[in-house]
Structure 1
């Protein structure tokens, strides 16, 4: 499979039944092969089971954490996936899945970074070592980090912070590209 359609989306919560149904119905209509969700806000494994019943996709891997805004998930629309390994590196914040998708070996990493600087830096340091592999990587998520002025709309002047520099360095060392920025190099947005 040469073209994989990937969507990454911060859902801002799937905890209430009404919100969950509305958002899941919307997401199921999207055209994707792999869907990475952040800020799912699921609290228990019962919530995860309820979401999986509604979703009814080929495979779903969900990680919940301790904080109320935690939660990341990776959803595959088709059965052509073989999960090799799943690791909750930071539960609800950093999820890793190694798989074969249509015969292609992939590592999918989904990130929902915390707002606190120390937790951001901790996650990025762990992430760096997860990128040192010999097959394709898909890195998705909400990093809660601005790496350049075109990634935000603000009247306050952009200042590159320590976590911004570390994210840029980690991505550069792993030869990763920001796909949105690659497709929209001059658009002021994220």
Structure 2
């Protein structure tokens, strides 16, 4: 299991049958092992069942929330996964799955951070505690936070906000390594500091 292909993607809504079918058809053609989706905008468990029927992959774990833009999901393409635990930390916004994937223990966290500052900070504080384990962690999602001036294009001068500082602090405290739009924390790093 040295190379896991992970895609994280903000789909900006799968609520209508037409957009759901079009997006699922597109995503199913991609080459991935684990797919994390954000901003799914599914409202009911009937919507979740309909998406699962269309998807028809090995395992799918979906969390819906109360806000119209909520919804995160983790999809596995192959059957080589055993789900140990699933928790909706913040329904529709912060989903945790502990699993065995090809015999290796993983914690996968998929998040879609809210636009409001207080909600962003609340999510990051919860995330911090989810990182305190001794096996591999994969974090995917849409943080909705800019931590460096080079991460945005704007005529407005970059200013590091409270939530940006908190994200950087969490990343440094837990030796988080950015790889693309995903974050990976090697278990060997965690083992060496315990």
Name the TM-score, length of structure 1 as normaliser. Answer: 0.91
Residue 187 (structure 1) shift: 27
1:151–1:128 Cα change, 3 Å: same
State the partner residue of 1:187.
Answer: 189
1:184–1:103 Cα change, 3 Å: closer
1:94–1:183 Cα change, 3 Å: closer
Residue 185 (structure 1) shift: 24
> Residues of 1 paired with 2:75 and 2:171: CA distance?
24
SS for the counterpart of 1:186 is helix
> Residues of 2 paired with 1:61 and 1:42: CA distance?
13
SS for the counterpart of 1:50 is helix
1:71–1:133 Cα change, 3 Å: same
Contact 2:113 2:123 in 1 (8 A): yes
Contact 1:83 1:97 in 2 (8 A): yes
> Residues of 1 paired with 2:139 and 2:189: CA distance?
21
> Residues of 1 paired with 2:189 and 2:164: CA distance?
19
Contact 1:33 1:78 in 2 (8 A): yes
Contact 1:150 1:186 in 2 (8 A): no
> Residues of 2 paired with 1:57 and 1:25: CA distance?
12
| Unaligned runs of at least 5 residues, structure 1 | 174-181
Residue 151 (structure 1) shift: 1.2
State the partner residue of 1:88.
Answer: 88
Contact 1:150 1:187 in 2 (8 A): no
Contact 2:136 2:187 in 1 (8 A): no
1:186–1:114 Cα change, 3 Å: farther
> Residues of 2 paired with 1:157 and 1:186: CA distance?
39
Task: Quote the RMSD (CA, aligned, Å).
Answer: 4.4
> Residues of 2 paired with 1:73 and 1:33: CA distance?
14
Residue 150 (structure 1) shift: 1.5
Residue 155 (structure 1) shift: 1.2
Q: Which runs of 4+ in 1 moved over 6 A?
A: 182-188
Name the TM-score, length of structure 2 as normaliser. Answer: 0.89
Contact 1:109 1:138 in 2 (8 A): yes
Contact 2:136 2:185 in 1 (8 A): no
| Unaligned runs of at least 5 residues, structure 2 | 174-183
1:185–1:155 Cα change, 3 Å: farther
Residue 153 (structure 1) shift: 1.2
Residue 186 (structure 1) shift: 28
**Which deviations, in whole Å up to 9, do the C-alpha atoms of 1:103-126 show, x marking residues without a partner?**
111000000000000000000000
